Amino acid sequence: MARLTALSMAVVLHSVLGISYYYYFRGSPESAAPALGAWLFSACIVALLQAVRIFPSTVPADQRFRGRNINNRAIQPSWAALFLETGICCLVLDVTLTKLWHRIESLCQCATVGVLQALAVEEQTFLAYEYWTVGLTTGLIGACLLWLTLWATALPTKLHCRLLDWRRSFHRHCNSMLFGPGTPMPAQAQESAQSFVS
């Protein structure tokens, strides 16, 4: 949960609030590409970051899934680790957007300008064609990279499994509140629980 909290904070700081060198860099007049491709590429990097453990866990794997450590206490991440992980996520987002995505945008813009200069059109039409062609090209590249990343990290399947786990634990907690923690469920409640989970 700490990884998702740190990643969420990094996305809010970097992409929503715009605290980034990339967005300052993007404000330059030579960047004519729309932000759609950059947003898709940012989503691609976020999908990669959610799949990577920045700090390895010292808790055994069977205990990690239950949220408990060996002494049966809840695992509490430290604030320093949370802020450090948020900073690392922001740095990764900023470096990949500035160094990698900006180069892709520049290459698409150079190729588009090279092709469009062969057309004899006025300046306003040229700028409109350049904007929409670069936007379409970078958007398509960003969408392909995002699809490839989602496929490689199996994020939709993981989200579906987490949703099912959440539904099961919610149902278990509701049953323990209604019927008590030590009492067995009635047969009708067990049948409805099985139909609810499946």
| 6 and 36 housed in the same domain | yes
DSSP secondary structure of 121-159: --HHHHHHHHHHHHHHHHHHHHHHHHHHHHHHHTHHHHH
Backbone CA torsion sign across 186, 188, 192, 198: positive
Question: Within this chain, do residues 138 and 161 fall inside the same structural domain, yes or no?
Answer: no
> Is 190 in the same domain as 109?
no
Six-digit token string for 68: 């408990």
Are 70 and 104 in a shared domain? yes
Q: Are residues 135 and 186 in the same domain?
A: no
- In which band, very low, low, confident or very high, does the pLDDT at 184 lie, cut at 50, 70 and 90? low
Is 176 found in the same domain as 115?
Answer: no
Total structural domains within the chain: 2
What tens digit of pLDDT does each residue of 43-85 get? Answer: 999 988 888 877 766 555 555 555 444 454 445 568 888 888 8
Amino acid, single-letter form, for residue 39: W
pLDDT in tens, 167-183: 888 888 888 887 777 55
In angstroms, the CA 102 to CA 153 distance is 24
Same domain, 194 and 117: no
Neighbours of 71 (CB within 10 A): 5
Residues 68, 138: one domain?
A: yes
> Which tens digit of pLDDT belongs to each residue from 21-44?
776 666 555 556 778 888 899 999
Q: Do residue 164 and residue 177 come from a single domain? A: yes
Looking at the structure, tell me whether residues 16 and 114 fall in a common domain: yes
Decide: 101 and 38 in contact? Cβ < 8 Å.
Answer: yes
d(CA 143, CA 148): 9
Same domain, 107 and 57: yes
pLDDT recorded at residue 194:
57
Residue span of the structural domain in which 59 resides? 2-153
- The mean-pLDDT minimum among 7-16, 158-167, 186-195 falls in 186-195
pLDDT tens per residue across span 100-142: 988 898 899 888 888 888 877 788 888 888 889 999 999 999 9
| The overall pTM is greater than 0.85 | no
pLDDT of the residue at 152: 84
In a shared domain, residues 166 and 143: no
Residue 138 pLDDT:
92
